[in-house]
Structure 1
Amino acid sequence: MSDLFLTPVFLVILMSLIFDFTNGFHDTANVVAASIATKALKPRWAILLTVTMNFLGALVFNKVAQTIANGIVDPQLLQNNTRLIIPALFTAIAWNLITWFFGLPSSSAHALIGALIGAIIAVLGTAGINFKDISVILKSLFFSPIFAFLTGFFFMIFCQAILFYLRPKKINKYFFWFQRISVIGQAFAHGANDAQKTMGLIVLALVAEGYQHSLQTPWEVRIAVAVVLALGTATGGWRIINTVSEKITRIEPASGFIADFSSAVVISGEIG
């Protein structure tokens, strides 16, 4: 790989890591906002916990990375065309920065995959899209918030039914602790899921240009992506945290735990 620095692949890797960093500080709010709003965790401890679990989660799985690497486009079609990944990454990074600036919660994954599909169609046409696998990815992106809503809705009804006899103060005391545990699970799942999308793009570029033949993510790529995601998470993304924790709805410990738990369940289901 001595000549890697002289190719578009290097720029793809660099911009992938920049996207990874923005993903870290942008999507931190999805993990910590509820626990901060309910005061289950102090902001600094919530961020530190999320940084740690994001890093660990990013190192564990590989299936999502493989899906990104060959499920959207055949790497062979990108020979001498890996540069088309660059505008897709630029678009996703710009989207993260714009929505962060205005404090708007949004999905980095939706932005990245949408931008990548658009860039592929612009250069290769619809023939460049792997419609069989992309349909599964798009269904996942579409149905995941719906499934999360239904999980949270019915789990809240279930909790209300079995805990109706307890005083609110006692319920909150229990859910303070439950919420701390759920944050760990959600942060781990977030790291395992979102980091793999960045890894998948890097692997796609490496395979397309012949630097490797396997869709397995090299450990140096895993570690680099995990570290950058953790660094991005450490910056906090406070604009979006304030929106999610204060401006959308009032969050109680019970609803905060259920939101975290439901998100972790949905994200874990997408990992593999």
Structure 2
Amino acid sequence: MPLDSVTLGAVVFAALVFAYTNGFHDAPNSLATAVSTRTLGPRAAVIMAAVMNVIGAFLGEGVARTISRDIIHPPEGTGGAAVLLAALIGAIAWNVATWSKGMPSSSSHALVGGMIGAALASATTVEWRGVASDFALPMVVSPLIGGLLGYGAMLAILWLFRRTNVRRITRNFKIAQSASAAAMALGHGLQDAQKTMGVVVLALVTTGYQNSYDVPLWTVCAAAGAMALGTLTGGWRIMRTLGRRVIQLDAPRGFAAESTVAAVSYATSFIWQVPVSNTHLITSAIVGVGATRRLSAVRWGMAGNIVVVWLATVPGAAVVAAAAYVLLSTALPI
């Protein structure tokens, strides 16, 4: 079997492992608020999130094209496949490390960090303009938007229902939150499954098995299935952090946070076609809705720890990916 085929198979396998870790690592994004407010039971929430992840994966290719074309340009053949394999190793390692600590971090940022680290270690061209416009800018802006929109959405809810019985509004918002949790899980599938697809497509182009950046149907199915399987395994450690340790949520605040994340996910996927982190969005939205209660209601120490992990994600995954490439380059005839 040609070496290019072997390395391509390794990249595809690693990409599916990454999608799996993305599922169990980022499942709490779609589950934590609904479970912590007792709107959904854990089992029902996991099944709902997995189903909506799969549906979302089939709704677009724009983010996949951005990942495959605008971040790095690996060399053709085995060398390029090795770069992508090292990038995925870095992203997977970071996902597992942060999951083991129960800390929410961005699988998307780990993937891009891994791509940049492997590229720098291999002297591969990095499309810095694309990194700045399609990754760095959304990375900085999206949490700010999530926090502000979450704050604004919760203020609107408080004003609109200011004369409504508290028990009645909570009961009704539990029903509404079931829909908003499903919408957020759909947005997660739409965004994050495409990132796995983008890496696979780039590997196909790099090894000469495909000339265009179109996403094959088998790639969509494989990425969706791997992510759904990961989601079904849950991510309870991170769920406790998001659902209880940042702020104690109720149904109206859960609805406001989830609706905010769903809206931003759809806009960035369909309009701007740039990758964003659902982890960053839901965390910032939770902080935003919590701040409407009072600023002291937010556990700022825990929020600060999460921000530290956010800032460490790109360089951390990049370092691991660079080390992985060095090891691969000694084992393969690159």
Tell me if both proteins adopt one fold, taking TM over 0.5 as the criterion. yes
Instruction: Select between 260-269 and 41-50 the one with higher mean Cα deviation.
Output: 260-269
Shift of 1:122: 2.0
- Which residue in 1 is equivalent to 2:99? 100
Identical counterparts, % of pairs: 36
Amino acid at match of 1:243: T
- Which residue of 1 is the match for residue 251 of structure 2? 253
Post-superposition CA distance 1:159-189 (Å, at most 9, x none): 1111111121111012111100001111111
Report if aligned partners of 1:172, 1:253 keep a CA contact under 8 Å in 2: yes
Alignment of 1:49-198 (within 5 A): 49-74=48-73, 77-79=75-77, 80-124=79-123, 128-137=125-134, 138-198=136-196
Instruction: Give how far 1:6 is off.
Output: 4.0
**Contact 2:53/2:189 (CA < 8 Å) preserved in 1?**
yes
1:213 matched to 2:215:
no
Change in 2 beyond 3 A, CA 1:4/1:203: farther
Q: Which one-letter code corresponds to 1:192 in the other structure?
A: L
Report the more deviating stretch, 254-263 or 130-139: 130-139
Q: In 2, distance between residues paired with 1:10 and 1:114?
A: 22
Does the 8 A contact of 1:17 with 1:198 survive in 2?
yes
* Counterparts in 2 of 1:27 and 1:16: CA distance versus 1, 3 Å: same
Give the gaps of 5 or more residues in structure 2.
271-334
The 8 Å contact of residues 117 and 129 in structure 1, kept in 2 or not, is answered as yes
Amino acid aligned to 1:135 = A
Asked whether the 8 Å contact 1:4–1:10 carries over to 2, the reply is no
Call closer, same or farther: CA 1:24–1:141 in 2, change over 3 Å: same
Question: How far apart are residue 13 of structure 1 and its match?
Answer: 0.7
Q: Tell me the amino acid that sits aligned with residue 92 of structure 1.
A: A
Q: Which runs of 4+ in 1 moved over 6 A?
A: none
1:204 paired residue number: 202
- Aligned partner of residue 102 in structure 2, secondary structure: coil
Structure 2 Cα separation of the partners of residues 34 and 78 of structure 1: 44
Deviation at 1:74, TM superposition (A): 3.1
Q: In the alignment, what sits opposite 1:266?
A: 264
Distance 1:4 1:60 in 2: 34
User: What is the CA-CA distance between 1:118 and the residue it aligns to?
Assistant: 1.8
1:248 and 1:114 mapped to 2: Cα distance?
Answer: 26
Which of structures 1 and 2 has the larger relative contact order (alpha carbons within 8 angstroms, sep 6+)? 1
Tell me the secondary structure at the aligned position of residue 72 of structure 2: coil
AA matched with 2:47: L
Tell me how far 1:131 sits from its aligned partner: 2.3
The normalised TM-score by structure 2 is 0.77
What are the superposed Cα offsets for residues 207-253 of structure 1, whole Å, 9 maximum, x if unpaired?
Answer: 01110011111001110111111000000111111221222210000
In the alignment, the residues of structure 2 paired with residue 102 and residue 5 of structure 1 have an alpha-carbon distance, to the nearest angstrom, of 37
Compute the displacement of 1:5 (Å).
Answer: 7.6
The AA in structure 2 aligned to 1:107 is S
Match of 2:231 in 1: 233
Look up the equivalent residue of 1:141 and give its one-letter code. M
Contact 2:80–2:203 (CA<8 Å) still a contact in 1? no
- DSSP 3-state at the match of 1:204: helix
Deviations along 1:11-60, one digit per CA (max 9) or x if unpaired, are 11111100000000000001110000111111100100001000111122
CA shift digits 1:107-164 (9 cap, x unpaired):
1111111121121122126xx1112322122211221111111110111111111111
Please tell me the residue identity of whatever aligns with 2:159. A
Q: In structure 1, what is the Cα distance between the partners aligned to 2:139 and 2:118? A: 18
Residue-pair matches, total: 268
CA drift at 1:7: 2.8
Corresponding residue number in structure 1 for 2:33? 34
